Amino acid sequence: MSAHGRPQAPLMSNTQADRVKEVARLAGRPSRLRRREFLAEGPQAVREAVRLHLDRQDAGRDGVVVDVYATAEALERHTDIAALLDREDAPSLRRVTPDVLAAMSSTVTPQGFVAVCRFVDVPVEDVLAAGPRLVAVLVEVRDPGNAGTIIRAADSAGAGAVILTGASVDPYNPKTVRSTVGSLFHLPLVIAVELDGLIDRLREAGLTVLAADGYGATNLDDLQDASAARRFGSGDDDGPDESGSGSDEGAAGPSVSAVRLEDAGAWLFGNEAQGLPAEVTAGADARVAVPIYGSAESLNVGTAATVCLYASARAQR
């Protein structure tokens, strides 16, 4: 590590140091809320946090990383991260022993990197003012892993933002941060939004509001068929002309024509056990079900969200 141009602070080796305990405490919500900081653990999350930090500073804004802690071995293995941290405007790096890193981390395998980051969430007004084309809204999604999966899927599908309502899981908890694999640092995140009035705000921002609902009357396949017919068809929008759409009254039903997947849209995803509240589904422009072709009773919310977000992304290209 002598290749690093910046002066080095001494190796941290005392697992009982106050600083180590303070970092470890960020695994708990009270400490996070008090300090408005959270933990990014592992090379992928830390790399993305540092990148965002540098990008923001390049744009004249405050960075997001307070400190990076890393073992010598991890810095040698991940030379790309070491190079980022070697930049003049990089966040401060403290080298630590593996024991100190383990004491700081909430995971079994932090893989040599932990970063203390400032909260990255932004006001919902800012997000909606930017005119996003695709937004994922988590309405009381409670499982940390599911929330992480949806944030990562939203990032993959190119969504413009992820919004979490107040009763949803805290996205800064280590398990969610970990399961986003860095995506938490890729797209605007809004937290603790009041559910009350949210649908109106989404619609005022020009977004079609789609409630993902296994019991919904609108089949996602029909929406996709209608979108494909508009894109590939002769223009008369009459849906498939062969091999039948199979189910009900075809792709031209009123519930289908009312919404278009290619329009800017916000998908609402509900609680694992209860789904979306009735007042939410009632206020949406459509209640959309991901079709189940086999015998499964339902889809995991993370899986359903992935299918929905990718369907919109495809239609919107």
313 interacts with its own copies by CB under 8 A:
yes
Q: Which has the closest alpha carbon to 305: 146, 182, 132?
A: 146
Radius of gyration of the chain from its Cα atoms, rounded to whole angstroms: 22
303 interacts with its own copies by CB under 8 A:
yes
Contact stretch for its own copies (CB under 8 A) within 21-29, 196-204, 266-274, 293-301: 293-301
What is d(CA 225, CA 256) in angstroms, rounded to the nearest whole number? 10
Do 68 and 85 form a contact (C-beta atoms < 8 A)?
yes
User: Which helix or strand (DSSP H or E) is residue 219 part of?
Assistant: strand 218-219
What is the pairing mode between strands 37-41 and 113-118?
antiparallel
**Please, what is the minimum distance in Å from the beta carbon of residue 62 to its own copies?**
20
Residue 145 vs 206, nearer CB to its own copies: 145
Footprint of its own copies on residues 39-58 (CB under 8 A)?
44
Do 141 and 269 form a contact (C-beta atoms < 8 A)?
yes
The count of chain residues that interact with its own copies, using the rule CB under 8 A, is 49
Residue 30 vs 293, nearer CB to its own copies: 293
Residue 52 vs 102, nearer CB to its own copies: 52
292 interacts with its own copies by CB under 8 A:
yes
298 interacts with its own copies by CB under 8 A:
yes
16 interacts with its own copies by CB under 8 A:
no
Write out the DSSP string of 18-57: HHHHHHHHTTSHHHHHHHTEEEEESHHHHHHHHHHHHHHH
Letters for 221-260 (x = contact with its own copies by CB under 8 A, - = none) are x--xx--xx-xxxx-----xxxx-xx--------------
214 interacts with its own copies by CB under 8 A:
no
Strands (E) in 101-141, as ranges, are 113-118, 134-138
314 interacts with its own copies by CB under 8 A:
yes
Residue 269 vs 283, nearer CB to its own copies: 269
Q: In what order do the strands lie in the sheet with 113-118?
A: 37-41, 113-118, 65-70, 92-95
Phi, psi for residue 251 in degrees, rounded to 5: -85, 0
Could you tell me the two tokens for 178?
């970990």
146 interacts with its own copies by CB under 8 A:
no
183 interacts with its own copies by CB under 8 A:
yes
Q: What is the binding site for its own copies (CB under 8 A)?
A: 44, 145, 149, 152-159, 181-183, 186-187, 221, 224-225, 228-229, 231-234, 240-243, 245-246, 290, 292-300, 302-303, 306-307, 310, 313-314, 317
